[in-house]
Structure 1
Amino acid sequence: MLTDKVRKGFLFLCFLVVIRIPFLAPYHTGSTREFVTKTEASNTISKIRPNGNHPGKWDPTNEIPKHFFKSLEKIARNLHYASVHARGLKTQVALKKATAEIKNLFGQLDISYRNITERGVTTPRTVCPEEYRGSKFGLNTSYEKGFERIPCNNSKPLSELVTVLILHRNSTESARDTVKDIQKIMPGVQTIIGLDRHLNKKEKSSIERDIPFIKCLGYTARTSEGQIWNDLLKKVRTEYVLIARDINIFDENVRLKRLIGVIEMVGVPIAGGATRDSLDGKWSLGCYQSGMRNYTLVYHEGYDESVQECVMCDCIDGPFVTRTKTLMAKMFDKKINGNGLFLDLFLRVGQENAVVCPDSMFHTRPKKVHASPLTWQSFVDKWKLYKLKFVPGPEILFKCNMKSKQKCTLKKNMLHHPCCLADIIVMLNHLTSTFETRVVDYQLCSGTLLGAVKLNSILPWDVDADIDYLRSNYSALNQFLPQLSFQEHSFQVMNIGKKDTTNFVLKSDISYWYVEIWAESRFTPTAFRTAMENYNGRSVKTMIRVNNVWVHAPFNPGLWARNRYGSEIYKHSQHWRTLGKNTSWGKYPMNDFLKCPEPGHHACLDNYKADGNLQFVDPVP
């Protein structure tokens, strides 16, 4: 239980935070700050009842800055959003405690936390609202009934509201049957259908004359799927459109008025339904959350939030209804073929801009998600991805073609592309395995060791790699120098402005990486001593993992790293050259990462905290 002093302190602290932090509460530029009394605040936020006797309540005579309430609302909404989407247990617990404090604060001000954080719902504009008639209403109909529409004056017939778009890969006769099914359940609704063959004017006229409310377009195998959908969309004249992807049977379960109503009530641009495979009967919710970071895109089936008996989604794996102007503003990418077409659309629409209402159901014959990288290539190239992961489903890795446009270029304040990172790992593996075969004593050093200690990898912002070797091994090393060069990687003496020729560098011709190899007269006393216990009579040197390669390290890597780099080494700081320093020996600032040159890109370093290593693994949507 919070004491009154603690509670008042928390209120005062919140006030200071709001006043002092510009992005939470901008200062007014005029000479007079805007204020609002508690009575005025009740008109814009919630009813605030003055109660001077309650400890911690504001004095009703006090004036409270308007921006205090606005910022407090923003804090509450963002905190609520984070609480809804938190995955980690520690994060959930911490956010639960923080939310409780904010609710406490709102209680002191008599503001409704729920009213501020709940999604707003309005009355539908073009369809009549629904009313639940109770759990026994649909008992005799196997619960095909339960919600009934309330009569209203603003309802429009579906024929004036929506157009159906279908990309049909079967026979013309099959297309006729599909349109007849549509007319049975939605009389007068226009259907625009794309047929997978060229149509001359006579054939097109014949089909449109024989089947009412149909328009058709022919296409060939050379026409991209995105281009076909765009051509169909351009012929739509209604406010809404149903993208009937993979549908092969239409019946009453599509419930288009329900989906249109939800779009209008909740304010989302897209609404879809569950799917039922018409061949094997398997039902699927088809709602996915997505997360893209560090050249990896993850889709996880499920939802975090619901509204109006629908679930919020980042991506829908099935047919959907949307406003025509929304889709016209985005259009399908005609350069993308195969599985990525709809994923690309939803990425551009934005997260949580779609709902699935599972009581609406579409009969489909969905295409399988192919694990072959070739079917995804155009999508992957556009979004610059290395890995695509579906949960449940396949994990797809894309090969690195270093000689193509994917060739590595170093970008400041951005993470290394996994293909570029793979090149330095290949270089390290080649060097260390050669050293071990030739019995040359070596160990990782500098930032390369620090990255291995912190991340079991190269630091994502590093610009080179470093290895020390014992100078006494120089003669042995000098005998096999030519063998250290390999395909597209050259080994040479390092030019450090001295006559010393015992330092070397291995450079890559296909990326920006190089490994510096430094001769040391001796390692620190503990660095290469044998383990205190010998295993089967042989000495054991410390090994550390860099991605999938185990290499030699100082005897106590953590101690070496701490003593080399000093305080707070497990927080992050960028490379000394990037920070404009002249040497690596000074103190490193543990601040946020520098501003990204491509704001919003999934590889921007400033997307990340300057602490922790789990954030650099596959994202959690």
Structure 2
Amino acid sequence: MLSLPSKFRWRAGVVLVLGSIFLMLSITFFSGPSYPFNVPQHYEGSSAIGRRQLARRLLQVQRQIDSLAGMQGKVDAAWSRELLAVAEEIDPRVSSEDGGLPVQDKKQQRNSREIAASDKAENGSQLPSVSPEVVVCPEVYLGREADTMYQSNFRTIECINALAFKDLVTVILSTKGWEVERVKFVARQILKYYDVNIYILVFGTNERIDVDNTNIKYFSSGVLESKAINSVLSYINTPYIFLASTLTHFSEQSPLDRLIRVLDDLHHVGVATGAYRDLEGLWHHGCLQVTMENYQLSYERGYEHSKDECMYCDDALGPMILKTELLAKVPMKETLEGSVMYRDWFLNVRLAGSLVVACPDVMFFVDTEPVMVQKDWLRVAQIWSLQYIHPYDGEELEFSCEQAEIKCTNLLKSVALFLVPPCCKEKLRYELGLFQDCAEELGLYYELQAGSLLGAIKTDGLLPWDFDTDTITDCKDQSIWLSDGMKCMKRKGCYSKLIAGNYWTSTCEQSIIDITCRHNTTIYLPKEYRQIPTQIMFDGRKTWVKANPGRVARNMYGHEYLKHIAHWRHVSLTGMDDGSGGVGSWKTCKEPGFHACLDHFPVDGNLKFKWKKQKN
């Protein structure tokens, strides 16, 4: 081996160390950052998760449209919003403003736009004078450098064809619980910024309220806000209403013309609200997303879509500007007031096909965020037949059938079109449990069969469109069942009757349990397992089933048995008699606005039929 002098060996060592460092740095810079977890090194094509999410959203809209196909029905503005949002995700060049035109082909936005250098007047003014045919003058965005305090970077352009604000908006102040001085102050503050007519709804006092351009409507303290609001609608001849019941102040932070501009721009929107801060200074945007299905109502703060720097919402908690024609079409329910009235109204607005936006740059001053206590939510539950409510301001609430005023009668008729209410399903399960209890007390064997077996496989319990339960016993135990078994069921409050041969029924308070006998089916298991029958979790309780329940269900119901169909008493399997397409289809709901219509739900899968509150 060649031997280098010591000074060269030292230099070689330095070079080697530096080379190693360079190599490590090269690996770091050229191979990407080092993560504390494994990440894919190569990526091609669109994400499968993303594709599935888009497919899910498209199918949701498709199901809703399909339920009205071939019929005269409304077009829900939410469908248009969702389809356009999906299109924009697939191709970012698509603009919902222009119905699918590429960005370069867009016309000038009517609401606001960023001003170009060519738009600036020669004298240096950044606000060109235009004459648009709009209800309020448009605005432009001057860029962040126009105001480094970021208070007036959007400016309104002077125009000559805008309507007088008094001809656009009427103010309704619902002042139940307000002190007289607060009423006067808020009304005068609004008039300080806008020349409008104001209707002040006063409850329980005749004290004079002397404010120019106001119309005072006096009501006794027992009159509900909803009735008072509806009563002044006939006096209003402006296209928009500013409705507020929580204001404590009004300032230039609450530009009503901004909300009017949005409503004029977004024709599918019927309500525009702003953010708000309470007396303690806490700020909220107030935008809520609402899901009402399968006897559940859930609220979530936030937004999924936006336009014109405003959030699309299903419900909003702040003062609002709404279209007068919308309030005429969807009046306040005259048995309600306060927050309950507004929650109910927004649910009806959604069913009417109108949308809501909240513009966070508009800020109102209010006393407090709308508060809903349990008795308020119970009223909502009773109106809309709900059992579970997930409020925007608290934990999950659960109401019984009795509290929610849900009756579990005549389920045979209702399951043709509707899901069984959770509390009724629990009663059905409880009564099947009585039969299980008797089997265990007598040491007798039983199995689920027919629709109950199918429900166990497909939905982990009773099918949500079933009204009875089906069981099989071992024929060698038939005499015991017809004597001691019937007596046991009688002690538990159920009346039993032999129908024919080996078939008998037990009628309980809510349901009928069908019982027939077969010879022991555990013979289909390997002999080593025949003493351990197959069990399944059936609505939270272990229950015996066929040796191989999936095989029996597939062989019994045939092709695509995992897809859904209504109860056999309502649907012809051939689909020739009642217009149903058989497996994989629902009948058209006669009450399309109801949250438990079967045709609102997929004809495949089980996740949509699960309740957020699962009982063990």
Shorter-chain TM range is 0.7 to 0.9
Does 2:372 match 1:370? yes
Partners of 2:394 and 2:405 in 1: CA distance: 29
Does 2:587 match 1:597? no
Partners of 1:346 and 1:493 in 2: CA distance: 50
Bigger Rg over Cα:
2
Does 2:520 match 1:522? yes
Letter in 2 for 1:271: A
Partners of 1:293 and 1:518 in 2: CA distance: 36
Partners of 1:530 and 1:493 in 2: CA distance: 37
Q: 1:194 aligns with which of 201, 205, 212?
A: 201
Deviation of 1:581 after TM superposition, in Å, equals 6.3
The residue matched to 1:212 in structure 2 has which SS?
Answer: coil
**Ranges in structure 2 where 5+ consecutive residues have no aligned partner:** 1-43, 46-64, 95-99, 112-131, 575-580
Deviation of 1:307 after TM superposition, in Å, equals 1.3
Q: Which deviations, in whole Å up to 9, do the C-alpha atoms of 1:76-108 show, x marking residues without a partner?
A: x979834737xxxxxxxxx899x46999xxxxx
Partners of 1:230 and 1:79 in 2: CA distance: 30
Provide closer, same or farther for how the CA distance between residues 128 and 100 of structure 1 changes in structure 2, counting only shifts above 3 A: closer
Deviation of 1:346 after TM superposition, in Å, equals 2.0
Letter in 2 for 1:366: T
CA contact (8 A) 1:275 1:364 kept: yes
Deviation of 1:148 after TM superposition, in Å, equals 0.7
CA contact (8 A) 2:199 2:216 kept: yes
Provide closer, same or farther for how the CA distance between residues 340 and 406 of structure 1 changes in structure 2, counting only shifts above 3 A: farther
**Ranges in structure 1 where 5+ consecutive residues have no aligned partner:** 3-21, 28-73, 86-94, 104-110, 533-538, 583-587
Q: Which deviations, in whole Å up to 9, do the C-alpha atoms of 1:326-353 show, x marking residues without a partner?
A: 2123211102345431122222222561
Partners of 2:527 and 2:202 in 1: CA distance: 75
CA RMSD, Structure 1 to Structure 2 (Å): 3.7
Partners of 1:505 and 1:96 in 2: CA distance: 57
CA contact (8 A) 1:193 1:216 kept: yes
Residue in 2 aligned with 1:55? none
Residue in 2 aligned with 1:137? 146
Deviation of 1:521 after TM superposition, in Å, equals 2.9
Equivalent residues in 2 for 1:166-315, closer than 5 Å: 166-168=173-175, 169-186=177-194, 188-199=195-206, 203=207, 206-207=208-209, 210-267=210-267, 268-278=269-279, 280-315=280-315
Residue in 2 aligned with 1:551? 543
The residue matched to 1:242 in structure 2 has which SS?
Answer: strand
The residue matched to 1:576 in structure 2 has which SS?
Answer: coil
Letter in 2 for 1:375: D
Equivalent residues in 2 for 1:68-217, closer than 5 Å: 81-82=82-83, 84=85, 99=90, 112=101, 121=110, 125-139=134-148, 142-168=149-175, 169-186=177-194, 188-199=195-206, 203=207, 206-207=208-209, 210-217=210-217
Provide closer, same or farther for how the CA distance between residues 428 and 371 of structure 1 changes in structure 2, counting only shifts above 3 A: farther
Partners of 1:525 and 1:119 in 2: CA distance: 76
Q: 1:574 aligns with which of 553, 557, 566?
A: 566
Residue in 2 aligned with 1:321? 321
CA contact (8 A) 1:527 1:554 kept: no
The residue matched to 1:399 in structure 2 has which SS?
Answer: coil
Letter in 2 for 1:179: A
Q: Which deviations, in whole Å up to 9, do the C-alpha atoms of 1:40-94 show, x marking residues without a partner?
A: xxxxxxxxxxxxxxxxxxxxxxxxxxxxxxxxxx9xx979834737xxxxxxxxx
Partners of 1:302 and 1:396 in 2: CA distance: 21
Deviation of 1:314 after TM superposition, in Å, equals 1.8
Q: Which deviations, in whole Å up to 9, do the C-alpha atoms of 1:174-228 show, x marking residues without a partner?
A: 3222223323333x433322223143xxx4xx32xx3222222333443223112
Q: Which deviations, in whole Å up to 9, do the C-alpha atoms of 1:27-48 show, x marking residues without a partner?
A: 9xxxxxxxxxxxxxxxxxxxxx
* TM-score, normalisation: structure 2: 0.73
Q: 1:479 aligns with which of 475, 484, 490?
A: 484
Equivalent residues in 2 for 1:432-581, closer than 5 Å: 432-474=436-478, 476-477=480-481, 478-479=483-484, 481-485=486-490, 489-496=493-500, 498=501, 500=502, 503-509=503-509, 511=510, 513-526=511-524, 531=529, 541-580=533-572
Provide closer, same or farther for how the CA distance between residues 101 and 336 of structure 1 changes in structure 2, counting only shifts above 3 A: closer
Partners of 2:607 and 2:555 in 1: CA distance: 24
Deviation of 1:474 after TM superposition, in Å, equals 3.9
Deviation of 1:589 after TM superposition, in Å, equals 4.3
Partners of 1:249 and 1:521 in 2: CA distance: 79
Provide closer, same or farther for how the CA distance between residues 484 and 179 of structure 1 changes in structure 2, counting only shifts above 3 A: same
How many equivalent pairs are there? 503
Letter in 1 for 2:270: P
Deviation of 1:522 after TM superposition, in Å, equals 1.9
Partners of 2:80 and 2:232 in 1: CA distance: 42
Letter in 2 for 1:385: L
Residue in 1 aligned with 2:409? 408
CA contact (8 A) 1:84 1:304 kept: no
Percent identity, aligned pairs only? Answer: 27
Partners of 1:375 and 1:179 in 2: CA distance: 29
Deviation of 1:115 after TM superposition, in Å, equals 8.7
Letter in 2 for 1:158: F
CA contact (8 A) 2:495 2:508 kept: no
CA contact (8 A) 1:371 1:395 kept: no
Provide closer, same or farther for how the CA distance between residues 298 and 121 of structure 1 changes in structure 2, counting only shifts above 3 A: farther
Equivalent residues in 2 for 1:47-58, closer than 5 Å: none
Deviation of 1:276 after TM superposition, in Å, equals 1.2
Partners of 1:286 and 1:469 in 2: CA distance: 57
Provide closer, same or farther for how the CA distance between residues 408 and 198 of structure 1 changes in structure 2, counting only shifts above 3 A: farther
Does 2:378 match 1:381? no
Partners of 1:600 and 1:403 in 2: CA distance: 18
Letter in 2 for 1:175: V
Deviation of 1:256 after TM superposition, in Å, equals 0.4
The residue matched to 1:545 in structure 2 has which SS?
Answer: strand
Deviation of 1:152 after TM superposition, in Å, equals 0.3
